[in-house]
Structure 1
């Protein structure tokens, strides 16, 4: 594995005892909040593997709450994140599951809800504060958060992917990685597009206006 800087080795600037259990957890929570797009009323969190075993001692519960509040990994309010979430009207329930076998020991499943809208996300903390999102609303994906990304939920119709790619080219944005996941042919599918440049609100709005597009989320 190649490291771009010393910070990839020693981990991020952060509050907390562990880059995997704290900084990584903050980033999982923050990614979930960004994808959801609005402040959730309720967040159900299930922790697996070592997350489930040590989450209180390593502050994983606080870190996930901090991410859901859009705090950074070095925010000094992290130890009070659960209290602040309650004060902001976000109800967070945490369930440790030490029985279910998962592919990675530092795994969390988050279900966010508000006003009839829901989002289910599975994230893993892979070390040094880095994360990977492996599932969104039941779709298997691989998203690290190291590049800007566009997630597009759409009807699985002919030409849908080409239309989105065409608009991205119109804005002179280079696609670094792209994948499409679907449950069943001809039903719903999820595009995950990672880019070299930031994705503007104007581009996201144009994509959302295309036929067969159901939801568009941007990760910067």
Structure 2
């Protein structure tokens, strides 16, 4: 059974560099036999959070929210691709994430961060760890951090230079960690219902 992985990306900027990392991850997970799908917060276009999905009467949530809720429920795992804004989380990705809660429960999540500079989005990665844990996901210990995003991945998301070589070497451990937790969570959910 192929792992169904949602790759969540949330930059709304006109010159988005992190989409390169999202594209790299979609391609790399596909090559491993998984079934990744890119969830682009900008393309989905949810409004600033007013009502969570669960706060709508059944069948009355906006269509885009309903479709995304279904995809989240059906996924085996999640990868959050995050840039860093002033040492914090990107508002677009955080807004998309906050529209849902129970839909995320009992599945693993991994974090891939990036920036134009050498810190590679590390502050955002740390911030996301606590947020995702609070939202009912198990956050795997392996992370991907990409500094100098435009020198590490070309416009098609293909690795270039020394940074690209380092990313290529780091990806298998990241993917193996996520795959192990994905399998463990799927088997446990099949064995017994979650406690809540």
TM-score by length of 1: 0.27
Return the index of the structure with the highest Cα Rg. 1
Length-normalised TM-score, structure 2: 0.29
Structure in which a larger fraction of residues adopt strand: 1
